Amino acid sequence: MTRLLPLAFLLCAALPLGACDNMAKQPRDKTWTPANTNPGSGSWPPEPAPNTVAREDRPQPAPALTPALLARGKERYKIYCTPCHGYLGDGDGMIVRRGFPQPPSFHSEALRNAPTRHFYDVATNGWGAMYSYADRVTPDDRWAIAAYIRALQTSQNTAAAELPDDVRRTLR
Ligand code: HEC
């Protein structure tokens, strides 16, 4: 009898495992499979709730460059990007001064030569230590910020000789 006891124990232990095996074979989503966007068939809402930004939006084309777009970009940049990138884009924002990894300056050779879409893409997907802003900044606002960063770069890298006469006269 004592010899049979371990055997009985093994049999009992094997029973629930058999049941688990069936569950493992049922259809299911794997980790990181895209959310089910098919209306009515999944738990993911087909439309984003009001005043939220859908993270899974497709990349949007750049809107036309207007003074209004730049003004909006300046406002959004100040809110979302200055804490690390600083007001001039030097990468010396307040959080960096308190110990967050330092971002590169927007006035570096590489970032001056980067296409405007790069700024949109980094805000959308994040970059290294920087996390994504896709859930806080709408696609249009990401383009507005990208345009403003271009303006910041121009503001720091334009030779006085290239300025219009009336602007140059105001320089000291
Ligand atoms: C919390 C700090 C923080 C904030 C806020 C932040 N960034 Fe960054 N950003 C970083 C850091 C750190 C890096 C460098 C990351 C790395 O190289 O690992 C970086 C890098 C970048 C780069 C350079 C990518 C490259 O090619 O080297 C761009 C462009 C950029 N950020 C844009 C933005 C924009 C636009 C915003 C505002 C929507 C923003 N960042 C807000 C921390 C921040």
What's the structural domain count of the chain? 1
Atom of ligand 1 nearest to the CA of 83: 5
Task: Confirm whether 55 is domain-assigned.
Answer: no
Task: Confirm whether 171 is domain-assigned.
Answer: no
Backbone φ and ψ of 24, nearest 5°: -65, -25
Task: Confirm whether 141 is domain-assigned.
Answer: yes
Task: Confirm whether 57 is domain-assigned.
Answer: no
Say if residue 159 is exposed, middle or buried (CB neighbours under 10 Å; 0-12, 13-18, 19+): exposed
Task: Confirm whether 123 is domain-assigned.
Answer: yes
Amino acid 36: pLDDT: 58
Mean pLDDT of 131-139: 91
Task: State the alpha helices, DSSP H only, in 25-108.
Answer: 67-80, 82-85, 94-97
37 alpha carbon to ligand 1 midpoint, in Å? 30
36 alpha carbon to ligand 1 midpoint, in Å? 30
Domain span holding position 140: 70-157
Structure pTM?
Answer: 0.74
Q: How confident is the model at residue 171 (pLDDT cuts 50, 70, 90)?
A: confident
Tens digits of per-residue pLDDT, 54-109?
Answer: 665 667 788 999 999 999 999 999 999 999 999 999 999 999 999 999 999 999 99
58 alpha carbon to ligand 1 midpoint, in Å? 21
Ligand 1: residues with CB < 6 A are 80-81, 83-85, 95, 100-101, 103-104, 119, 122-123, 127-130, 133, 137, 145
Task: Confirm whether 8 is domain-assigned.
Answer: no
